[in-house]
Structure 1
Amino acid sequence: MTETERANARLVDHRSATVSPLLLVTRLGRWAQGEGTLAERLAHGIASLVRSGELRAGDRLPAERALAAAVSVSRGTVVAAYGILSENGVVERRQGSGTVVAGTLLRLSGSGTAHRGEALFSALPSSIDLLRSVPQMPDLAVGIVRAHDPEPDLVLLSETDPAGLPVLRERIARRFAAEGTPTTLEQILVTHGAQSAFHLLVGEVVSPGDVVLTEEVTWPGFSDAVRRRGGILQGIPMGPDGIDVMMLEEAMARLRPVLVAINPHHHNPTGLRLPSSDRLRIAELAAEYGVPVLEDRVLAPISFDGVVPPTLAALRPDAPILVTDSVSKWAWSGLRIGWLRADPVLVRRLRGARQIVDMFTSVPAQLLALDFLDRADELRREVSERHAGRLELLRGLLAEHLPEWEYRPPRGGLSLWARLPSGSAEEVIARAAMRGVAVAGSDAFAATASNDDHIRLPFTAPDSSLEEGLRRLGEAWRELG
């Protein structure tokens, strides 16, 4: 077995929760080095795997003789090691069931608090708000709102289906199909924006102690929902184009997540766009492991070069791919209409969950969303062209006021992810606040540990706010030396 095969092999059989003795030895590494007896060191190594989340409550450890043979020690050493783990409450010795990991999952280190997203709504009324990436409403959208005059169909206006108006669900399904992802009405759930879809989905599939994988920096509205639910969020490192797919596969094998959530197209906050080969591999991993993958496409259509990749669901129709989208970024942020594309069975379950959360989505809002969907291509093109120009304005301001800051120009989306050459992002944010500018940095978007070396700069604010905000930010940076 090669090193790559060992890394991607499954330590625990998902069906029987049985730990492989040979793979356990691989995961333990150089466990015999260090202080203490062999039994103490072996117990410490196994306990470390429990703390990291690789071994979870209910997993059945190898039989004493099998593990002794695998690690080349006496059976007595393994018996003693299991005894130490039992005394410390890490495992339970069950008659007829062997030795199993005890209790509830220990939290992964760096899982953080459940309110990171709060920082994005904390600007003072007197501050220049560079926190939120709320796009400027297209002129076409303004015209559509003014001209909106729905037919007074009393049957339609009294519709209260928690899944959404059938006519809107059908229209959304047709748009998916036109873009290369065959979809039926039964696969669509209409929600109060994409954030509501995140909340409903997390509440349905994540239980306390469950592992959820996402990018190492991600939208805090999703990470907060997982943490509030009691889930364990684990961030996967990112490369120059997005999430590291090899490390994602390794984490899927080791940590057995209940959900993977990614933002592969104009990622918020980094602006990265995942290559086609990596998108295909993620879809294949979803099919191989049977783990649902949630694809956030809210920013996908805001593309400066006209490239809008297909959904992951289009690449592997047999994979458990969930897709969320909304009209917020390309039509009107004030119209809280989003949707989730999922298996019809899951849609029915979430439809039931809505009945105890918010009942159903506003019918007038859904009717207006129909008008937006009729002009979706034009709206998306206008938003993309306008914000491509705003990106160039921001880049010019960075060259003038913050030439030392490094960034990779995004090919779409609404913000730029700038890296500081030195120092702390939190220090810059604090100093900027003293000058009346509100910005967010690494910590607000970190899934796990933060390097505290990036700041997100949306290019959605009015010209005057963007120009004055960058000028003051430059002054704050120079004050820090």
Structure 2
Amino acid sequence: MLQKPRPLQKLLGNWQQGDGPLYARLASALRAAMAQGDIAPGIMLPAERTLADTLRVSRTTVVGAFRMLRDEGWLDSRQGSGHVVRHPQHGVPSPYVNQDVVRAMARNPMLRRAAPESNGTVDFSASRQAGIGALLARVAATQMPVLETLPDGSGYQPSGLPALREAVAGYVQQVAGLPTGPEQILVTSGAQQAIWLIGQLYAPHGEHVVLENPTYPGAISALRMAGANLEPLPVAPDGFVLDGLEAQLKTMRPRLVMVSPSCHAPTGTVMPIAQREALVALIDAHQVATIEDQTMLELLVDGTRPTALAAISATAPLLTIGSLSKLFWPGLRLGWIRAPQPIIEHLSRLKAVVDMGSSPIVQMLAVGLMAHADEVRALRHAEIRRSLDVLCAQMTALLPDWSWQRPAGGLSFWARLPAGTATEFAQLALLHGVTVVAGSALTSDGSGDDHVRLQFVQDDETIVLGVRRLAQAWQAYASHRAGRG
């Protein structure tokens, strides 16, 4: 079910803090929500008196804020018609867009406008892994003879270059323990496209899809764009909650399930083998197509690699997805789907409609990079362990009342606030020079607003500074809550 829009006062957060007249601060908060898409074009804002009563300010404050936004081109105000949101770069308000899709994309932190890196803000919304520029240059040099021959063909290969499909098949067999042939591999533009393609094939017309809660925000956006109705499968800090899944399978009869049992994002949880077997038994019994997201498998640093779901049963309808982005570089934009050959052929036709196939040049570079997977994996694991050691020490020392568990790997640190909402706190944290993502942006039902996500792979100095600023922001937030209580 699509998430209900959040109340306007929730979107504005602690807007009264800051400098300048009160109406200018309100205008600034409204402008930010409009720019981020939380308040989409075509939406009608509450009447001036209604909004004033809701925010507990004078009507003059609201009138001044609306006037400022109208002068800047953010509002279209007409006598008797209210105040309709527009965008300064749009000629007219646009009430016919799919507002649910706009809101879904706006809640994805990856799609928000990034703050300039030069402003001194510590950005925990994205990890800063070591670059592979030198390795990429070496690989490009060794691949040059092959690259020179690529233009001899059309370049249209929706399933992927044979060389990369073969390399990925071997990689999946080695890393995930799944015997795989190249005919079972579809090369995609990252795991994001893999999720979208599968969603389009299985659940494009409002069918139910069971999705972990919380989860990777790109999955929420991709499946909502496919038209699916998302049903949450809870993930607790100490493990997956499968008790309600059987009831969902019986009553809702979902067309698709998606899980990330190996280093789940954002919690870093690894599903134990007993739960994996129970989950696969349910999938097999109900024959519900299921995505096993192994994107974070290579970033698992604690414990041995777990058994893949597809290795537990030969008859359960499982599709496995993975990506080279987390191991090598997000900008590589290459992922894959592993599935039975007939399903791969269907998905290949669908991908051809979308982009005619991923870039063969990038695919050939990926073939060369995969030969260096072991050395890059060692680099990533060292980064993750070092960053986690520093972050956990700082969190324990400076934010002792926050609740968290050290993740088994990955890039995300999932922390629970002692009180209040993460949406409010994230806005205040930004004023203190540190960016975090509120947990509600990572859930399909708007829950999780008592958690924040930190992308923790940073240099030591950045982590220390960032947690110190978080602690300062939390002290201010807790004092503010105490004052208004």
TM range, smaller chain: 0.7 to 0.9
Q: For 2:273 and 2:106, how far apart are their aligned partners in 1? A: 31
Match of 1:130 among 124, 129, 133: 124
Q: Check whether the contact 1:428–1:480 (CA below 8 A) recurs between aligned residues.
A: yes
Partner of 1:183: 180
Task: Give the aligned residue type for 1:408.
Answer: Q
Q: Check whether the contact 1:272–1:410 (CA below 8 A) recurs between aligned residues.
A: yes
Partner of 1:4: none
Task: Give the aligned residue type for 1:152.
Answer: V
Q: For 1:473 and 1:387, how far apart are their aligned partners in 2? A: 21
Q: Check whether the contact 1:194–1:325 (CA below 8 A) recurs between aligned residues.
A: yes
Task: Give the aligned residue type for 1:475.
Answer: Q
Partner of 1:53: none
Partner of 1:327: 324
Partner of 1:416: 413
Partner of 2:252: 255
Deviates more, 1:325-334 or 1:238-247: 238-247
Q: For 1:430 and 1:323, how far apart are their aligned partners in 2? A: 37
TM-score normalised per structure 1:
0.73
Q: For 1:144 and 1:405, how far apart are their aligned partners in 2? A: 45
1:19-418 equivalence runs, <5 A: 113-115=103-105, 117-120=107-110, 121-125=112-116, 126=119, 127-133=121-127, 135-137=129-131, 141=135, 144-145=138-139, 148-152=142-146, 156-157=150-151, 158=153, 159-178=155-174, 179-418=176-415
Q: For 2:306 and 2:156, how far apart are their aligned partners in 1? A: 34
> Counterpart of 1:181 in 2: which secondary structure?
coil
What residue ranges of structure 1 are gaps of 5+ in the alignment? 1-109
Q: Check whether the contact 1:116–1:220 (CA below 8 A) recurs between aligned residues.
A: no
CA shift, 1:327, in A, is: 0.9
Deviation per CA, 1:402-428: give whole Å up to 9, x if none: 222110111111121001111111121
Q: Check whether the contact 2:295–2:321 (CA below 8 A) recurs between aligned residues.
A: yes
Deviation per CA, 1:202-230: give whole Å up to 9, x if none: 12211222000011211111111222222
Q: For 2:243 and 2:460, how far apart are their aligned partners in 1? A: 41
Q: For 1:478 and 1:192, how far apart are their aligned partners in 2? A: 43
Q: For 2:209 and 2:270, how far apart are their aligned partners in 1? A: 22
CA shift, 1:153, in A, is: 6.0
CA shift, 1:154, in A, is: 5.5
Q: Check whether the contact 1:191–1:197 (CA below 8 A) recurs between aligned residues.
A: yes
CA shift, 1:246, in A, is: 2.4
Deviation per CA, 1:340-397: give whole Å up to 9, x if none: 1112112111111122211111112111111222222332232112211111111122
Deviation per CA, 1:255-303: give whole Å up to 9, x if none: 1101000111111111111101111222222211111110111111112
- Decide whether aligned partners of structure 1 residues 153 and 214 sit closer, same or farther in structure 2, where only a CA change above 3 A counts: closer
Deviation per CA, 1:309-331: give whole Å up to 9, x if none: 13211111221111111111111
CA shift, 1:306, in A, is: 4.7
CA shift, 1:146, in A, is: 6.4
Task: Give the aligned residue type for 2:433.
Answer: G
Q: For 1:283 and 1:235, how far apart are their aligned partners in 2? A: 18
Q: For 2:246 and 2:106, how far apart are their aligned partners in 1? A: 27
Q: For 1:289 and 1:189, how far apart are their aligned partners in 2? A: 25
Q: For 2:136 and 2:102, how far apart are their aligned partners in 1? A: 40
> Counterpart of 2:262 in 1: which secondary structure?
coil
Partner of 1:438: 435
- Decide whether aligned partners of structure 1 residues 248 and 439 sit closer, same or farther in structure 2, where only a CA change above 3 A counts: same
Q: For 1:384 and 1:478, how far apart are their aligned partners in 2? A: 33
Q: For 2:285 and 2:345, how far apart are their aligned partners in 1? A: 25
Q: For 1:305 and 1:357, how far apart are their aligned partners in 2? A: 38
Q: For 1:175 and 1:149, how far apart are their aligned partners in 2? A: 19
Q: For 1:135 and 1:403, how far apart are their aligned partners in 2? A: 27
Deviation per CA, 1:5-54: give whole Å up to 9, x if none: xxxxxxxxxxxxxxxxxxxxxxxxxxxxxxxxxxxxxxxxxxxxxxxxxx
Q: For 1:371 and 1:117, how far apart are their aligned partners in 2? A: 36
> Counterpart of 1:331 in 2: which secondary structure?
coil
- Decide whether aligned partners of structure 1 residues 148 and 435 sit closer, same or farther in structure 2, where only a CA change above 3 A counts: farther
TM-score normalised per structure 2:
0.72
Partner of 1:467: 464
Deviates more, 1:250-259 or 1:232-241: 232-241
Q: For 1:277 and 1:340, how far apart are their aligned partners in 2? A: 25
CA shift, 1:467, in A, is: 2.4
> Counterpart of 1:277 in 2: which secondary structure?
helix
Task: Give the aligned residue type for 2:444.
Answer: A
- Decide whether aligned partners of structure 1 residues 233 and 304 sit closer, same or farther in structure 2, where only a CA change above 3 A counts: same
Deviation per CA, 1:99-131: give whole Å up to 9, x if none: xxxxxxxxxxx9994225532333321332211
